[in-house]
Amino acid sequence: MADTGELPRRDEGKRMRAANRQQSARQPPADLSGRLTEIARGYQRVLKGNPTQPTALVGMCLVALASRQAEAAVEMASAAVASTPEMVAAWVALGQALKAAARHEEAAKAYGQAIRLDGVNALARLGLGELKIAAGRPEEAVAEFELALKRRPELVAALLGLGNALALLGRNEEALEKYEAALALRPRLAEGEFAAGFALARLGRVKEAETRYRRAVAARPDFAAAWINLGSLLREQGQDVFAEAALRRALELRPDLVSGWVNLAVLERERCRPQVAETYLHKAFALNPSQVETLVAWCQLRVAERDLAGARGWLRWALALNPDFDEAVNLHGILLHLDGRFSEAIEIFERAEALGNRAAASNRGNALLDLGRMEEALTAHHAAVVCDPSSAGAKYNLALTQLRLGDWGRGWTGYEARWQFREVHRRPRFFKQPPWSGESLHGERVLLHAEQGLGDTIQFCRYAALVAARGGVPVLQVQPAAERLMGSLAVVRAGLAETTVLGADPEFDLECPLLSLPAVFRTSIDTVPWEGAYLVADRETAAERFAEFRGAPFSGREDGLRVGLAWAGNPRYKADRARSMRLATLLPLLRAVDATWISLQKGEAAEQLTSLPGDVCVWDGSSGERDLAETAALVAGLDLVITTDTCVAHLAGAMDKPVWILLPHLADWRWMQEMETTPWYPSARLFRQASPDDWPGVMERVSEELRRFAERGSRTGNAAQITRQIPAEVACLH
C-alpha cells in the first residue's frame, strides 16, 4: 500500500467459497443422456415394481442431483429414509439433496443422523465440512474433513475440502499440501488445479498460480471460476488485455456470475475508465442488489473518483447488509482516514483485522503515522507483513516506514517491493537485459531509468557518477523535461555517461531503476553521495534570466533579495492535497520582506498568479518554460528558493542553492521525521507543519526566518557574478 493506504480489491476467502459453490453446481445438460439416462431408467424399472425400494430411491436422488433438480432429489431421498430409516446411504443422500436445495440446517441434521448410525461416516463428515465452510466456520470444517479422511484417506473431495478450510484460515502452505495430495490421486483434476492456484497466489507464487489456473481451464474449459481467478491474477500483473479476455470468457460461460462483472469493473477502474467500470457494476447490481461485494466495489470506484460523499452512501448500504464484511469495515477505516479522523480510523482498522482483513494492519500503520505514533506504526506494518507475506503493498509500506525512521539498511531492500505493488507501478517495465546489482563493470552500458516523478530523477541521478566509478557507462533515461538538465552532470560532461529520454530505445547491457541505486550502493544516512552541486545551469542562459526581472516594479532595490517560489506539485500524485497549497496561503510571507518574488511554478497552479491582491507582486518566471534546464537557469540567479515538496525543491538542492522546503505534518518518507535538515541536500532547510494542515504556523516561522535572512544581506549579485559561479566547462545546453 501507499502512504494513504491501499483500497482492497477482493476477498479471496469469499471468492473461494463462491468457487466451491460453482464447482458443486456446475451446469450439466438439463436433459439426461448417455450412461446417466440408462442408469435412471434402470432405477425407474425397479421402482415400478417396488416404489419404496431404498437403493433405487437413493439412486434416483443422485440422478436428480446430477441434473440440478434439487427438490426432486430431496423428495427421493426422503422417501428412501422413510422406507429404511437405518440406511446410512439414504441419510447421506438426503443431506446432499438438502444442501443442494440450500436447506442447510436440515442437511446438517440428515448428516448427523447418518453419523449416529455409522460412527465416522466419511461422506457425512464431508458434507458437514462443506456446510461449515459455507457458514463461514472453517476451523470447525477442518475437524470434519480430517474425520472423513481418517475413514477414507483416498477421498479426494475431503482432501480438497480440507485444503479449502485451511486456506480460509490463512494456512496456505498446509492447504497446498492437501491440494497436491488430491492431485496425486486424481492428476489434472480441474478443481484440484484451481485450488492449488488459489493457494499459490496467496503465497505470492504468482507464476505458479497462473500455470495452475491455466491447467484448470485446459482440463475443464467451462470452469468459469477458474477463468475469473486467472483474469484477476493477470490484472494484478498488469496484463490488462489478457485479464480482460479471461474475464470475458468467464462471463460468456456464466453471464449470471456477479464476481465476473465486478472484476471487469475493477479492471476498468484501474485503467482510469470510470464510466465503463460503472456500466459493469450496474450489470452486477442488477443481478443481485444485495451482494455486498458489488456495493464495496461501488464504494471503491467512488473513492477513486474522489467522490467521498458517494462512497459513504454505498458503504452505509454494504454495512447495513453485513456489518461484519471485512472489506466494507476496512473501507470504513479508509474513509475516516481520508477525512483526517485518524484515531477513529485506527479503531475501525483494528476491527477489520479481527474480522480477517489482510490489508487493515497496514492501513492502521498509515493512520498511526499520521498521528505521529511512529514506533506503533512500524509495529503495525511488521504485523501486516507477517499476516500476509505475499502482499507487496504491506512490504512497501513497511519499507517506507523504515526509511522514514532511518533504518535504511532494511528499508532500501524492502523498497524493491514497489515493483510488485500496482499502486506504484501499474505496468512495470520488463527488460531482456539482466538487472545490475552493484558488481564491478568492465565497460558495460548500464541503463539507469527514471520510474517516478521529476523530483525522484533529480534526487537519484547523482548515482550515475558512482556507476561510472564501478567501470560502467551509465545511460540515463529520463523524462523529456529533465534530459537537457542531465547534460550538466559532471559525468555526462566528461563523456563518461550518456542521456536519453523515456520511450527511446538505446543500446545497453544491464539495467537498474534510478530509485534502486541507493539499495545497490547500500546507502546510509552517513554515505549519501554529495561532493557539492551536481546539477548546474548554462552560463549564458542564467545571465539572461537574471536580467529579466531587474528594475521591475515591486521588486525593491536592483540589488535586493530575489526569492523563487513554488507552491504546488503534480496534482495526479496521490498525496498531493497534503503537500501542496494555494498561492494565497503564502500572502503573509509575501508581505514579510521587501523582495523580488519570482514564481517557479508550472502547470495549472501558475494561473493563481493572476488573482493576487494589488499590493503583492509575484513575477511569472516559469509557466512558459520548456524544460527544467530553463528553470535551473532562473534558479541560478536567485538568493533563495522557497517551495513545497516539488521537483523545484530537488532542483535547488541539487544546485546547492539555499532552499527552504515547506512540508506537511506527515511528509514524504525521504524527508524522514522531525529533522530540519536532510542529508540529501546540505543547502536545504525543512519547515514542517506542527499539526495537519497547519500552513499558517509554517508561514509564521518562515516569515520570521526570511526577515533574518534579508538582514544578513545574502545576495546573489549581478549577472556577471552569476556566470562566475557556474563552472566554465559547462557548455550551453541545447
* Structural domains present in the chain: 12-217 (1.25.40.10), 323-420 (1.25.40.10), 445-527 (3.40.50), 539-725 (3.40.50.2000)
> What average pLDDT does the chain have?
90
Amino acid at 233: L
DSSP letter assigned to residue 621: -
Paired residues of 565 in beta bridges? 599, 642
- For 177-204, the pLDDT digits (tens) are 999 999 999 999 999 999 999 999 988 8
First to last CA, the chain: 41
Q: 661 in helix, strand or coil?
A: strand
Place of cell 495526479: 572
Q: What is the pLDDT of residues 592-615, one digit of tens each?
A: 999 999 999 999 999 999 999 999
CA distance 539 to 345: 53
Between CA 449 and CA 517 the distance in angstroms is 10
pLDDT > 50? residue 17: no
Report d(CA 640, CA 75) in Å as an integer: 87
The whole-angstrom separation of Cα 497 and Cα 502 is 16
Residues 344-398 have pLDDT tens digits of 999 999 999 999 899 999 999 999 999 999 999 999 999 999 988 888 999 999 9
User: What pLDDT digit, counting tens, does each position of 35-52 carry?
Assistant: 778 888 899 999 999 999
Per-residue pLDDT tens over the stretch 400-442: 999 999 999 999 999 999 998 888 887 778 899 999 999 999 9
Amino acid at the residue 474: P
Cα separation, 335 vs 665, in Å, equals: 19
Q: Which residues contact 490 (CB under 8 A, 6 or more apart)?
A: 465, 534
Q: Which residues contact 200 (CB under 8 A, 6 or more apart)?
A: 176, 206, 208, 209, 212
Bridge partners (DSSP) of residue 561 are 595
d(CA 384, CA 386) in angstroms, rounded, equals: 5
**Digit-coded pLDDT (tens) for 128-147:** 999 999 998 999 999 999 99
User: Rounded to two decimals, what is the model's pTM?
Assistant: 0.82
